[in-house]
Chains A and B, each alone.
Chain A
Amino acid sequence: MKRSPILVGYYTMVRKDFVRIIRIWSQTLLPPVITTSLYFIIFGGFIGSQVQAIQGFSYMQFIIPGIVMMSIITSAYMNTVSTFYFSKWQRTLDEQLVSPMPMWTIIAGFVTGGLVRAGLVGILVVATSLFFTHLVIHNALIIFGAAFLTALLFALAGLVNGIFAKSFDAISIVPTFVLTPLTYLGGVFYSVNQLPPFFKSLSLFNPILYMVNAFRYGFLGITDVSIATCFTVMGGLTIFFFVLTLFLFIRGAGLKQ
């Protein structure tokens, strides 16, 4: 059966990034495994053993979904921002821009690279967590849905960062000063119900809170916010970033002079 040329172009981009991710596994896959292992040991093991159960689950069990989600967010974002900015900087992006691939296919190619890396990292971190606690699965569909939408959203956000970035510094500013604080304050290590009312209300403006809670609900069946709201926020932001990315690509912003 003959494959569609657009699919061939898309497959070529994804294959190329997959091979790269695997080839440099010590930079793409190993670091999150080591970092999260330290979280599990220090927060889950040493400190968590002295923390009382949260909504019926041990502290270790409570933080694992959040930590997995944190790895997914960082991997998806960093993969697209770095591969895209490197392509732009080295001008290898021209290889795709001169080709007849539609703009949405090029976006899909970069974003899928982010999804692949986030997926691999997510699986590895969940596997690592099994050394520390047993796995509880409340709803596999919600786990997959929350992980997929979050990875998609941050892969697109990484692409937007890559489009606007004019230096290597610019691709680390957002992860350092926006993404990390939002992730840490997004209920990874605590339930927002434990916060004073003002900070709880403030936390509701943090989109990562909804992603962590939806993911945690999929594993443990507990959440601080409604699951419908979680998926509405994730879906809405994903559509927003997709439209924004497509608009920027078609306008040639940051890509074409």
Chain B
Amino acid sequence: MMKYSPYEQKTENAILPKSLSMKQASAINIEGVTKVYSSGTEALKGVTLAIEQGEFFGLLGPNGAGKSTLISIASGLTLKTAGTVSIAGISIDEDPDKAKSFIGLVPQEFNFNIFEKVENIVVDQAGYYGIPRAEAKVRAEKVLTQLGLWEKRNDTAQALSGGMKRRLLIARALIHDPKILLLDEPTAGVDVELRRGMWDFLRELNANGTTIVLTTHYLEEVEILCRRVAIINKGEIIEEGGVKQLISKLNYVTLLLDTAEPVLDATMVVLRELKIIKTDEHTLELTLNPGETVNDAMRKISAAGIQISNIRNSGSRLEEVFINLIQK
């Protein structure tokens, strides 16, 4: 008698893994994972990481840090050298097929057949997850509509724009309704408007219970979307924690101040107790020292006779933390 199926079915039609409802299991649990490629490159050096169910988790790191390798190992595309990985409590060594059924992967590269029709790419993927064709077509309509691709369903993938191709990768990854979505730089090369639309979509997905792990080069993305983040560099996790906690840890706040009048160099001398630089005639960049408040700084600036017309945040604050950490 058949005891095991990697595709445990929750309802008659939906193919959803049951065991993710087990509350004690982390969505992804990685312990001491190393990866040495055949070229000798040591991509991961004993990474340990736990991502809980329902999290929106960010994985940050410079190019070649090991982010994609880690995601590939978790999704079954790359073999680890040592360590253990479990998905929803299922070891990828003991039951890889079952572990994979929980995951939807959005890779960095476009890895669909560019000569295939958009709808077929998504429907065929559903088939690989055991979803019958008739049901797959219904799901494809839903997911392609959500991602604004339904009108393009009969076009070949090569006819899509870069942003549409990225959305097609997401649609394909969501067709089996995965409990964990792994996104490897999903918004690379996507314009700002589209990126924000994608963020809204991912936030909604997360709010509906999908655990999301995101790697990205856009730190702003992590700051806006993720509650927790791990920073990986040269194959090692160098920092892990809540995004807000991480930012406050270094207590860095940098503000850009637009001035009503040009700032004289002589005035800057007066402000030497502050960590402030003049970036142009009408702009000052103020970095608050630990313990220093905006009020303190503004009082000194006002006393120097400078009229501030506007205050802006100096880009991503997480970026500063990130650069600071990887330069250590």
Q: Is A148's CB within 8 Å of the partner chain B? A: no
Q: Is B156's CB within 8 Å of the partner chain A? A: no
- Asked whether A92 lies within 8 Å of B113 as measured between CB atoms, the reply is yes
A94 contact from B6, B15, B38, B111, Cβ within 8 A: B111
Instruction: Name A251's closest neighbour in chain B (CB-CB).
Output: B79
Instruction: State which of A49-57, A99-107, A175-183, A218-226 sits at the interface with chain B.
Output: A99-107
Q: Is B1's CB within 8 Å of the partner chain A? A: no
- Asked whether A97 lies within 8 Å of B112 as measured between CB atoms, the reply is no
- Asked whether A8 lies within 8 Å of B130 as measured between CB atoms, the reply is yes
- Asked whether B132 lies within 8 Å of A98 as measured between CB atoms, the reply is no
- Asked whether A100 lies within 8 Å of B109 as measured between CB atoms, the reply is no
Instruction: Name A16's closest neighbour in chain B (CB-CB).
Output: B124
> Nearest Cβ in chain B — how far from A102, in angstroms?
6
> Nearest Cβ in chain B — how far from A164, in angstroms?
14
Q: Is A26's CB within 8 Å of the partner chain B? A: no
Q: Is A9's CB within 8 Å of the partner chain B? A: yes
What residues on B are CB-neighbors of A232 within 8 Å? none
A188 to B103, CA, bound (A): 51
Instruction: Name B131's closest neighbour in chain A (CB-CB).
Output: A8
> Nearest Cβ in chain B — how far from A257, in angstroms?
5
A257 to B80, CA, bound (A): 9
- Asked whether B105 lies within 8 Å of A11 as measured between CB atoms, the reply is no
- Asked whether B113 lies within 8 Å of A97 as measured between CB atoms, the reply is no
Given contacts A5-B5, A90-B113, A257-B37, contact A98 B100 (CB under 8 A): yes
> Nearest Cβ in chain B — how far from A64, in angstroms?
36
Instruction: Name B13's closest neighbour in chain A (CB-CB).
Output: A2
List residues 232-246 of chain A with CB under 8 A from any CB of chain B: none
Given contacts A2-B12, A8-B130, contact A100 B101 (CB under 8 A): yes
- Asked whether A9 lies within 8 Å of B111 as measured between CB atoms, the reply is no
Q: Is B7's CB within 8 Å of the partner chain A? A: yes
Q: Mark A5-18, 1 if CB is under 8 A from B, else 0.
A: 11011011101100
- Asked whether A98 lies within 8 Å of B77 as measured between CB atoms, the reply is yes
What residues on B are CB-neighbors of A134 within 8 Å? none
> Nearest Cβ in chain B — how far from A110, in angstroms?
13
What residues on A are CB-neighbors of B97 within 8 Å? 100-102
Count of interface residues, chain B, beta-carbon cutoff 8 Å: 37
What residues on B are CB-neighbors of A97 within 8 Å? 76-77
- Asked whether B79 lies within 8 Å of A252 as measured between CB atoms, the reply is yes
The prevalent SS among residues of B at the interface is loop
What residues on B are CB-neighbors of A252 within 8 Å? 79
What residues on A are CB-neighbors of B112 within 8 Å? 92, 95
A256 contact from B12, B78, B111, B132, Cβ within 8 A: B78
Q: Is B129's CB within 8 Å of the partner chain A? A: yes
What residues on B are CB-neighbors of A257 within 8 Å? 37-38, 72, 78-79
> Nearest Cβ in chain B — how far from A1, in angstroms?
11
Q: Is A138's CB within 8 Å of the partner chain B? A: no
Q: Is A91's CB within 8 Å of the partner chain B? A: yes
Instruction: Name B114's closest neighbour in chain A (CB-CB).
Output: A90
A100 contact from B12, B130, B132, B133, Cβ within 8 A: B130
B127 contact from A4, A9, A256, Cβ within 8 A: A9
Q: Mark A57-88, 1 if CB is under 8 A from B, else 0.
A: 00000000000000000000000000000000
B125 contact from A6, A15, A90, A99, Cβ within 8 A: A99
Q: Is A172's CB within 8 Å of the partner chain B? A: no
What residues on A are CB-neighbors of B109 within 8 Å? 91
Q: Is B139's CB within 8 Å of the partner chain A? A: no
Given contacts A90-B113, A99-B100, A100-B6, contact A9 B129 (CB under 8 A): yes
What residues on B are CB-neighbors of A94 within 8 Å? 77, 105, 107, 111
List residues 108-158 of chain A with CB under 8 A from any CB of chain B: none
Given contacts A2-B12, A5-B15, A95-B112, contact A102 B6 (CB under 8 A): yes
- Asked whether B127 lies within 8 Å of A98 as measured between CB atoms, the reply is no
- Asked whether B77 lies within 8 Å of A9 as measured between CB atoms, the reply is no
> Could you list some 12 contacts between A and B, CB below 8 A?
A3-B132, A4-B5, A11-B127, A90-B113, A91-B109, A92-B111, A96-B128, A98-B75, A98-B77, A100-B100, A100-B129, A257-B78
